[in-house]
Every structure is written in C-alpha cells, then in structure tokens.
Amino acid sequence: MFLAKRFPVYFGTDWTEVPFVVSSEDSAKPPVIMLGMGARPQDVEIDGVRVFRYPAGYEMSRLNFQKMSYPGREADSAWRAAAADRIEKIRKGDLIVHLLDERGQPVLGGSVSAQLERHFFRFGSAVSADVLTAQGEDADRYRALIQRLFSAVVFENDLKPQMYEKRREKRQMSALDSAIQWLESNHIQLRGHYLFQNAINSTMPQQIRELGMAKYCEKLRASIRGRIEYLGDRACEWDAANHPIAWPSAKLLTQSDGFGAVCEDLMREIATLTSLPLVINEDNLSDLKERQAHATWELLKHYRQAGLRVDKLGHQAHYHLANLISPEAFLKVADYYSEVVPAQLVTEFDVRTNGDDQLAADFTRDMMTAVFSHPAFDGFLSWGFWEGKAHHGECMPWRKDWSARPCGQMLEELLGNTWRTCVNLAVGAEGAVGFRGFYGRYIVRHVSDGKTLEGELELTPSNLEATVRLHPKPQPEGNNR
C-alpha cells in the first residue's frame, strides 16, 4: 500500500537539491513520485530525480531534509508582545465577589480560592458521540481530556444530514442523546455542524438521482427543520452553510440543474427557525490570493446586502506544509473578513507537517495566540485531538496510546496553565474578594475550620460584580459518564 504524503518544495532562481522520503508497505508495489505544479502559473526546471533505497528500520532522521517553517515563529517576534497585550485587555476582567455562607451571611475569615473551570472563549475540538459515551479506558481518557482542557466541542459527523437521519431511521439516537446530556452536565458548549452543504459529497449524487432535485430539496428542508428542533437551545450556534464556495474542483448544488438559488432560500428559512448564531463555514480562507477566499468575502457581502442573517464566519483552517501562514498575516486576514461579517471563529483546525511534530506544536500555539488576541474571534476548535479517533490521526496532539506529541504537551501548558486563572484570595470586609482573571465559569471554594464550601460564578464583560452563596462541597460521583 502506498503511503501518500504531500511534500511542498520551496526554491528560487538557484539550483536547489530537495531530499524527501517516501515509503511502501508492499515491495511489489513501489512508491510513485508525482510532481504537481498546477496550482499557480510558474516555470520550473528539473535537472533530474535520483532514488536511493534504504533498508527497513533505517533512521530517516539522519537524512538532511529541507526544513520547513513560517514567518513569525521566532521567540522574539514582535507580534507576540502585541498579541499578549491584546489578550490581557480583551480576554480578562476585574471581578468583585460578595461571598455568602449557607445561611446567607457574609463569609468572614478562612481561605478562599477561585479557579477557572471553563473559558468563555470556545477552546475545543471535534468529537464523536459514540466515543464520548462508550465504556473502557480509551473512552474514560477521552472524556477526561475534554473535561480538563475544553470549553466547547463540535460533533464531527453526528449532526450532518445523512448521519443524523441514518441514526434517527435506525432508532440509534441514544448515544447522541447521552453525549449531549454529558456535555450539558459538564458545562461544555456544543456547536451544531452542519445544516446543509453546497459542495456535493460522496453520498449526495445517489440521493439526487433517486429522488430528483425537487424531492431532494424537500427532504433536505425537512432534515434541517428536524435537526434544529432536536437540538433546540442545547447548541451555542449552527454551521448553517458548509462549503458554500468550496475548492476549485468541487461540484456544487448551486450549479446543479433545478437547484437555482435554494442556498439563499435555505439561509432565509433557517433564520426563521432558530435564533442561534448562524455561521458560514469555509476552508482556504487564509490565502487572499486564492479564489476561495475572495469568493467567500463576496458571498458574505452579498448576503448582508440581501438582508440574509450571517452572524459569523467559520475558518475551517486545514493547514499543511504548503500553506502555513504567519500569525501577523492571519491577523490581517481576520481584519479583511471583519469588513463583511460581525464575528469569526476557527472551526476545524489541523496541521499536517509530515512528521515534524515540533513545527506542528509551534504553528498551533501561534495560531491559537493570534486568534485569541483578535477581538472578532470567539472560538478555536481543532478537527480532533486523539489519533484513535481522527481523520488525520498522524497529526493529532495525542497518539493512539495517549502519549502526548509536542502539540499535546503545548496544549496542556497553554490551556492548563498559561491561559488559566487560579488564585488564592484574602477575604475583605463583608465577605468581599476581588481578582482579575480570564472570562469564564469559575468554582469558588472557602475553607474554614476544616469545612469546605463552594459555589459557581461567571466572569464576563457584562458581569464584573457577583454575589455567590456557598454550599457544602458535593461528593464526587462514582462514574464520570
């Protein structure tokens, strides 16, 4: 079996030797090298291709590869200090808390701590409802990591039209129901993905042939209504339209005979069915030289002029070695789209670096930092986190055995420490305490004479003073599912 990998090559006007590695699990079917140069107009001269065969088990790291990187990766890059200043300004607030005991009297004396449990900003990942509700060690670790680091998730497939309808028709909704209940009980927000897609996927052509376009549209509308009704306000938002522009070779429903302007009609209808924020979700938005980026901007402008409600733009943000962007350039991209849409978020981030795990960790960290520092954004979700359940498992932060790649280690530090508020407080007059922290949901604990009381509060830009009534700390349940 050929192991397909993409190796971007960078060169200038001088002759450059570019080494790279391919491998095959089947010696009877050796690897095939294909040189793709059709993405942009260019003239390329190739002097020759040499192939060296190395024995099985050879340590490929000994070879001299062309190292890839991106501008702004350096530790002393100027953008970092500016981003840190913006994060301090727009993602934190000063909170005054008035603490009351079980009897409603001000808490006096003892020690008080406040710990951020869930960010107001939506840090998270795509997840599977089946794994989220499964039994076993892997499922336990899956849930524990989500509980520890994330404030929002999105089901990768479970709410897409075909997958949802298949579950419903086969009466297999229990895992989805239980997964949503688990998320609610752990105060983890859920994004709805997606109501309809313009790019034709592998299952749609057969349905269109069998039903005809009119009946297909009717079935799609019914599915949209059913999923909106099923999820209700248990979601924080919906990806209303997925891939409305799509990649250059994609076949689109809007190009199909009889489909016409139904995408606009669907957007209008969806806006009447739910008050949740509606997101246009698209990929390849970072390269402003590409058609997909400009066409998405024009679509958002057109929808706004036509009176169609679009609350956010979702950057799918699938990166690989050929399209890594500098953090400063991404901030300019965000400004560009802010002209035509009120808010943005990253919805499906991943980065494939062909085994360069440190590059993946650094790029992820810098993209998260840039996004967290931009006022238009309210979320950053990856397209999976565990190799055991992901589309591109080799680039996941955690391997199948749950050991952390450098990216996983970075996430533990960034979300578990750097961007986490945990403070010990001195109780002032009348049980008042104050602290500065990241916006989000907090657990407040008071300990006095061996007795622990705790309560919950939210620190948001509009809630900078709160009164919290404390109660005895609840006993932990035996099962975290």
> For the whole model, what pTM was predicted?
0.90
Taking a C-beta distance cutoff of 8 angstroms, is the pair 219, 211 a contact? yes
Would you call 322 helix, strand, or coil by DSSP?
Answer: coil
pLDDT band at 1 (very low <50, low <70, confident <90, very high): very low
Give the pLDDT confidence score for residue 5 in this predicted structure.
57
Min mean pLDDT across 205-214, 250-259, 295-304 is at 250-259
- Residue 142's CB: how many other CB atoms inside 10 A? 22
Min mean pLDDT across 200-204, 226-230, 245-249, 295-299 is at 200-204
Give the pLDDT confidence score for residue 25 in this predicted structure.
63
- Work out the angle at residue 411's Cα, subtended by the Cα atoms of residues 326 and 425, and round it to the nearest 5 degrees: 115
Give the pLDDT confidence score for residue 209 in this predicted structure.
81
Taking a C-beta distance cutoff of 8 angstroms, is the pair 361, 409 a contact? yes
pLDDT band at 397 (very low <50, low <70, confident <90, very high): very high
Taking a C-beta distance cutoff of 8 angstroms, is the pair 422, 114 a contact? yes
Q: What is the mean pLDDT of residues 312-320?
A: 97
As beta bridge partners, residue 100 has 106, 469
pLDDT band at 6 (very low <50, low <70, confident <90, very high): low
Give the pLDDT confidence score for residue 2 in this predicted structure.
36
Instruction: Give the pLDDT confidence of 345-388 residue by residue, as tens digits.
Output: 999 999 999 889 999 999 999 999 999 999 999 999 999 999 99
Listed residue (214, 242, 274) closest to 154, CA to CA? 242
Helical residues (DSSP H) of 339-405, grouped into ranges: 357-373
How far apart, in whole angstroms, are the C-alpha atoms of residue 308 and residue 239?
15
Distance of CA 422 to the CA centre of its chain: 25
CA gyration radius, the chain: 25
pLDDT of 70 strictly over 70:
yes
Across 20-24, 67-71, 140-144, 476-480, the highest mean pLDDT is recorded for 140-144
φ, ψ dihedrals at 469, nearest 5°: -95, 120
Taking a C-beta distance cutoff of 8 angstroms, is the pair 445, 473 a contact? yes
Q: What is the mean pLDDT of residues 216-244?
A: 96
pLDDT band at 245 (very low <50, low <70, confident <90, very high): very high
Question: For the sheet containing 111-119, what is the strand order?
Answer: 422-425, 111-119, 440-448, 451-459, 471-472
Give the pLDDT confidence score for residue 248 in this predicted structure.
84
Distance of CA 112 to the CA centre of its chain: 34
pLDDT of 69 strictly over 50:
yes
**All domains of the chain, ordered by start, with CATH?**
1-66 (no CATH), 79-89+119-418 (3.20.20.80)
pLDDT of 314 strictly over 60:
yes
How far apart, in whole angstroms, are the C-alpha atoms of residue 397 and residue 409?
8
pLDDT band at 87 (very low <50, low <70, confident <90, very high): very high
Give the pLDDT confidence score for residue 279 in this predicted structure.
98
How far apart, in whole angstroms, are the C-alpha atoms of residue 220 and residue 318?
27
How far apart, in whole angstroms, are the C-alpha atoms of residue 422 and residue 425?
10
Tell me the residue ranges of DSSP E strands in 21-91: none
Would you call 34 helix, strand, or coil by DSSP?
Answer: coil
Name the more confident of 17 and 243: 243
Min mean pLDDT across 13-17, 121-125, 344-348, 466-470 is at 13-17
Tell me the residue ranges of DSSP E strands in 189-317: 189-197, 237-242, 278-282, 312-315
Give the pLDDT confidence score for residue 259 in this predicted structure.
58
Q: What share of the chain is helix, strand, coil (3-state, %, to 5)?
A: 35, 25, 40
Listed residue (325, 323, 367, 376) closest to 349, CA to CA? 367
Would you call 205 helix, strand, or coil by DSSP?
Answer: helix
Share of the chain above pLDDT 90, in %: 71
Taking a C-beta distance cutoff of 8 angstroms, is the pair 9, 18 a contact? yes
Give the pLDDT confidence score for residue 480 in this predicted structure.
53
Min mean pLDDT across 63-77, 382-396, 448-462 is at 63-77
Name the more confident of 137 and 39: 137
Residue 394 CB partners (closer than 8 Å, separation 6+): 352, 355, 387
Average per-residue pLDDT for the chain: 90
Give the pLDDT confidence score for residue 11 in this predicted structure.
67
For residue 38, CA distances in Å to 54, 125, 348 come to: 31, 33, 26
Give me the sign of the Cα torsion angle 223, 124, 436, 431: positive
Q: What is the mean pLDDT of residues 33-50?
A: 77
- 150: enclosing H helix or E strand: none
